Each structure stands twice: as structure tokens, then as C-alpha cells.
Chain A
Amino acid sequence: MRPEPLVLGFDTSAAHCAAALLLGDRVLAEMTEEMTRGQAERLFPILEQVLSMGGHAWSDLDAIGVGIGPGNFTGIRISVSAARGLSLSLGVPAVGVSGFDALAYGTEEPVLTSIDGRRDQVYLQQTGAEPFQAHLDELPSDLSHTGLTVIGHGAERLAAHTGGTIAAPAAPVAVAIAAIAGARAASGQVARPAPLYLRAADAAPAADQPPKILT
């Protein structure tokens, strides 16, 4: 990989289509459209536009960065599926970047990042720890850290709970994803991107019991 990789990053894990083209740390082009539906139809036209705004073609790319969530299940799959297809056709790595890593990008640790999980639920990650899901009214007591920065959904309540300081993300989501992906791709082999759901599929085992078989 070149010392300054050309990376296209994108994300549809929430109500937006976000894309950014980075050469090393330099943002060549960036675009975000807010939308609650239609990401599957808009994503590729937006990616093509960002590439052309940055003066590059698909074949110039060194890596793909993709947001893997957590967030909207369908939204996450839209981007992850696109990234996997692109990785195969372009012969470049696709790197999955979590929404937590994108929020924490460029902020000094320790950071508590939070993503909207709907109905007062949040997805949380403390720097270096496993992500989890929690209700905003039932937050775990061990979240406090000296010098903690809180970023993301429900930050005010999380800051009040932990005594941390609220901050905005240091970079737009797609910029952060592209930057992190570029660094990871340069450091070696990466696994195929996979969605980070943090929530099981909503499915109940069949309720009806089979009849007793008489012998």
C-alpha cells in the first residue's frame, strides 16, 4: 500500500448517506445527505459523486472503509454488502469500522461513545472495552473514568451519570471511517467487514408444540 492510501469511506447505519474520499489524512471530498429511506438507491450515486469531486476513479482506490454500526440493521447491511462487492471487484481491502470508533476518532482517551438504539436504548462503548446495549434509565455504575469524554447520543445524560465532559465528534462519520480504515489496511491483513448488530434478530421459537407420537 502507498504511504498515503486513497480511501473511500461510507456509512448508512443511521438516517443518512455519508461518504468521504481521503488521501492519507487529507479529505479530498466529502458528502452527507440526511434521509430516513432510500439509502440503497442513493449510496452509489453519492459515492460516484464524491470520487469525481475528489478527481479520482474507482480503480484508483487503495482501500474501502465502511461503517458496520451498530444502528439501523438494514442500513448497516446496505453499506456492508456494497463494500464487500467493491472489495471483490476492485481487489482492495474493505475495512469495517464501528460507529464507536468513528465517534471516538481524533479524541483523546478515555472516551465513552454512544449510539441511538431507539426507545431510550443506547449502544455504548468505553475505550478499550466491549460494546453493549443499555437503557438510559438503567446505566451501569462503572462507567466513570478520570478525564472521561462523552460523545454521541444522550451525551448529556451520560455526562451527568459519569461526571464526564461532553464533546462533539472530531470528524464527520465518513471521514473518520476512511481515516481509520486507511490506517488499518496499511497495518496488514483485515477481515471482511461484518455488521455489528449488538442486538439479536427479533424472532421467537415456534410456539406450537409437536404432538406426542404414540408407540
Chain B
Amino acid sequence: MSDTLTILGLESSCDDTAAAVVRHTPGQSPEILATVVAGQTELHAAYGGVVPEIAARAHAEKLDICVEQALDRAGVALRDMDAIAVTAGPGLIGGVMSGVMCAKGLAVGANRPLIGVNHLAGHALTPRLVDTVAFPYLMLLVSGGHCQFLLVHAPDEFTRLGGTIDDAPGEAFDKTARILGLPQPGGPSVEAAAKSGDPRRFALPRPLLNQEGCNMSFSGLKTAVLRARDALVADQGGITEQDRADLCAGFQAAVCDVLAEKTRRALATYLAHNPATPTIAVAGGVAANQAIRGALETVCDANGVAFTAPPLNLCTDNAAMIAWAGIERIRTGAAYDDLTLMARPRWPLDQSSPSMLGSGKKGAKA
């Protein structure tokens, strides 16, 4: 019997409905046979953020269609799968639950095993899907909903070195875009506007920059942009294109500075582990920002550390990373899940470090 694994992955934890088929034979590069992502940007456009109920409604009626498309494009049948991997959290619970229930229906009907995957593990293991990256590596996961530094020791072993204590950078980009009347999603529109801006015109804060450790904060930065805008509006009745470009440039520079400095510190901790081939990987939608990428690459170059970032379609939410995380877990000998698999709104990757964000009945967010 061959050790080749072919896995179907499902993802529905935020505003992308996705299905993918990934195949892997030990000693060879993994192969993405198909990856399908159905976005919902237009559904949420009027609300200035992802509306959980609207997202859940869309997932419930799109998931099986995405799965059909992925199987079709891959030219495989459901019964050919070695397992079905599904995001079981963390994320917006309505969407996660739809994914988990659809996956259970697929698994029992095709008589295939089911494996619940942590969405963050999907992002964190993506460098190994597209590149030969050895453990341990340093991961900066930076997206619309998350921001954390992780030491990735193994497919199921992560140490969180720090992260945001409030907003994620992607969220701050979206809010900044809204404050300045730029279209959503904010990442690309703020980045485009920043190109013609002067990052030094507005003195925006670098929250927690001088505080020890790798924790970050982006909520105050967004508020500073709002104050600067309001001052301009009070002064001149509105803002000019140049004002907007300068604010975007100033905001983006502040995010870059914070991420670069905290990466330097995370790197020091990481290098103390004496990794054989020191590597920093980034993932998450914000990793698509060229200025941020550039700032991180500069840090890596200065320290003689390799830098890797998956292609954009694997940086943002997708199901290939879920299928891949499933494969990685199966290879470690992890047990399959049974039909009582739970959808979890919160599920920190590193369960041993003290919680940083969120508490109470739902448990720690990160």
C-alpha cells in the first residue's frame, strides 16, 4: 500500500467558502489538485465589516457546491479521499458549524474518516505546503482576524511568542479605509493610496513599540487616524486626495515599524533554539502588503534568516491549507475525529501559554 494521502479540505470560518483537494506522497512535494474559494466581499460591503449572520447564511448554501467543484476540477471522487479535513475553529461560529456539519455528512456518506483542523494551524503550516521549510520555524500570522508570532515546532506543537492585544492589522486597515472613504477590503486600497503619500506628514503612534516582548496593539493607531481626519475636516471641511494618501502612508509606516520591531524580538527568541535553517514565514491576508513584506525581508536580511511567504491565494483563507494541515496531522499519527466533532469559536493554537485576548465562558481567543 502506498503512503500517498489525498485529502479533501473545507474552510468556512470567516467570509470565504472554500474546498480543496491536496495529495502528498512522503519524500515528494505536496500537490494541490484543486482549490476553490467563493468570497463574500460584496455581501458585506455595505456594513463595513463581516456580518456573522450574513456570512453563515452564505456558507450554508455554498459549501457543498464548492466541494463539488473542487472534486470535479481535481478529477477525483469523494470515495477516493483518504480523509475529509474541516476547519473546526477558531472563527465565526455559524460558518464553522456549517462546515463541520457538511463535512460530517460527506464523511459518513462516503464512509471516510473525518479530521477537525485548527484554522490557525492551516495558516501556520502553509509554508510547508508550498516550500520545503523545516521545523522549527518562526511564523508571523497576520490577517483580518489574527496577529501572532508562533514558533512552529511540529504540526501539532506551537509556542506563541506574542500577538495583538486588541485589533488585528487587517482590521485596522479596513477601519482606516472606512475612516478615509476608501473601498473595502481596506488592505489593497490603503496600500494603493499610500504609494503617493508622505509617511512623515502625520505623527501617528507606534503602540507598545517600546514595551518588552512581542505583544502588539493596533486599535489606538486606527483611532489616531480618525482624530487626524477629524482635525482636517474641522479645518477645511473635508480631506484632499493628498491628505488621504499621507494618512494612508503614515498608517502603513506605523504598522510596518511595529511589525518589523516585534519580528526582531521574536527572531531573537527563535534563534536561541538554534534552528538548523533559520526561517521566518508569514501568512494571512496582510502578508500580501508589499511594504510590510519589504520591512520583514529587511529584518531577515539583516539577521541572515530566510524569508518565505506563500503566494497570495494561499496567504488568504483557503481550503488547501486545511487539507494540508489534515495531512500533516495524520502523518503525526493523530486520531481521527468522530461524529461528535465540535465547532469551536475559540481555539488557541498554543494552549499552554497564558491567554492574551478574551476570556470568560467562551475561553481564550489567543
Q: Which residues of A contact B (CB under 8 A)?
A: 40-45, 48, 58, 73-74, 77-90, 192, 194-195, 197, 201-206, 208, 210-215
- Contact of B330 with A by CB under 8 A: no
Chain A proximity of B281: nearest CB distance (Å):
33
Residues of chain B lying within 8 A (CB to CB) of residue A204:
47
Q: A41-B341, A210-B180, A214-B238 are in contact. List 19 more A-B contacts (CB 8 A).
A: A41-B340, A43-B104, A58-B109, A73-B56, A77-B56, A77-B98, A80-B61, A81-B59, A82-B102, A82-B105, A84-B64, A85-B109, A88-B67, A88-B68, A90-B109, A192-B64, A203-B53, A204-B47, A211-B180
Q: Mark B31-46, 1 if CB is under 8 A from A, else 0.
A: 0000000000000001
B322 at the interface (CB under 8 A from A): no
> Interface of B with A (CB < 8 Å)?
46-49, 51, 53-54, 56-57, 59-61, 63-64, 67-68, 78, 93-94, 97-111, 178-181, 229, 232-233, 236-241, 244, 339-343
A84-B102, A88-B106, A89-B110 known; A195+B236 contact, CB < 8 A? no
Which among B97, B102, B229 has the highest number of chain A CB atoms within 10 Å? B102
With contacts A74-B97, A80-B60, A203-B53 known, is A85 near B342, CB below 8 A?
A: no
Quick one: closest B residue to A12, CB to CB?
Answer: B101
Instruction: Name the A residues within 8 Å of B340 (CB-CB).
Output: 41-42, 44-45
Tell me which of A48, A85, A195 contacts B106 (CB under 8 A). A85
Could you tell me if A86 and B105 are in contact, using CB atoms closer than 8 angstroms?
Answer: yes
Q: Which residue in chain B gives the minimum CB-CB distance to A89?
A: B109
Do B56 and A85 have beta carbons less than 8 Å apart? no
Q: How far is the CA of A88 from the CA of B68 in the complex (A)?
A: 8
Q: A40-B342, A202-B53, A212-B238 are in contact. Are A77 and B60 (CB under 8 A)?
A: yes
CA–CA, A78 and B341, complex, Å: 13
Tell me if A41 and B102 are in contact (CB < 8 A): no
A215 CB contacts on chain B under 8 angstroms:
240-241
With A88-B67, A212-B237 known to touch, is A40 a contact of B97 (CB < 8 Å)? Answer: yes
Question: Which residue of B49, B53, B98 is within 8 Å of A81 (Cβ)?
Answer: B98
Expressed in whole angstroms, the Cα–Cα distance for A85 and B57 within the complex equals: 16
The 5 closest A-B pairs by CB, nearest first: A85-B105, A89-B109, A210-B181, A206-B48, A212-B238
- With A82-B105, A201-B51, A203-B51 already in contact, the answer to whether A48 and B339 are too (CB < 8 A) is yes
In the assembled complex, the Cα of A210 lies from the Cα of B100 at a distance in Å of 38
B259: min CB distance to chain A, Å: 26
Contacts A74-B94, A88-B64; A203 near B54 (Cβ below 8 A): yes
CB nearest neighbor in B for A77: B60
Is A89 within 8 A of B97, CB to CB? no
In the bound complex, CA of A204 to CA of B94 (Å): 19
By beta carbon, the residue of chain B nearest A43 is B101
Give the distance in Å from the alpha carbon of A205 to the alpha carbon of B178 in the complex: 12
Compute how far the CA of A42 lies from the CA of B338 in the bound complex, rounded to whole angstroms: 11
Which residue of chain B has the shortest Cβ distance to A88 in the bound complex?
A: B64
Q: In the complex, are the beta carbons of A40 and B237 less than 8 A apart?
A: no
- Interchain CB contact under 8 A, B229 and A211: yes
Q: Which residues of B contact A214 (CB under 8 A)?
A: 236-240
Give the residues in chain A near B102, CB-CB below 8 Å: 81-82, 84-85
A197 to B229, CA, bound (A): 41
Shortest distance from the beta carbon of A84 to any chain B beta carbon, whole Å: 4
Complex CA–CA separation, A79 to B102 (angstroms) = 9
Residue contact B64 to A213, C-beta cutoff 8 Å: no
- Please give, as numbers and ranges, the residues of chain A lying within 8 Å of B109 by CB-CB distance: 58, 85-86, 88-90
Known: A90-B109, A210-B181, A214-B237. A205 touches B46 (CB 8 A): yes
Least Cβ–Cβ distance between A78 and chain B, in angstroms: 5
Q: In the complex the two chains form, what is the Cα distance from A34 to B179 in whole Å?
A: 47
Whole-angstrom distance between the Cβ of B121 and the nearest chain A Cβ: 21
Residues of A contacting B68 in the complex (Cβ-Cβ under 8 angstroms) = 88
Q: Which residue in chain A gives the minimum CB-CB distance to B95? A: A77
Q: If the complex has contacts A81-B98, A205-B47, are A89 and B107 also in contact, measured as CB distance less than 8 A?
A: yes
List residues of chain A with CB within 8 A of the CB of B53: 73, 201-203
Cβ contact within 8 Å between B94 and A77: yes
Choose from A78, A210, A212 the contact partner of B101 (Cβ within 8 Å).
A78
**Nearest chain-A residue to B12 (Cβ)?**
A81
Q: Cα distance A80–B47 when bound, in Å? A: 26
* A40:B57 contact, CB within 8 angstroms: no
Max chain A C-beta neighbours (<10 A), residue from B46, B53, B78: B53
Q: For A58, A194, A201, A215, which residue has the most chain B Cβ atoms within 10 angstroms? A: A201
Q: Quick check: A203 and B47 within 8 Å, CB to CB?
A: yes
Q: A78-B101, A192-B64, A206-B46 are contacts. A48–B238 as well, Cβ < 8 Å?
A: no
| B contact residues around A86 at 8 Å (CB) | 105-106, 108-109
Q: How far, in Å, is B14 (CB) from chain A's closest CB? A: 16
Most buried by B among A48, A58, A88, A197: A88
Bound-complex Cα distance A88 to B103 (A): 11
Q: Tell me the complex Cα distance, A88–B232, Å.
A: 56
Residues in chain B near residue A44, CB distance under 8 A:
104, 108, 339-340
Expressed in whole angstroms, the minimum distance between the Cβ of A7 and any Cβ of chain B is 15
Q: Say whether A58 contacts B342, CB under 8 Å.
A: no
CB distance from A198 to the nearest CB of B (A): 13
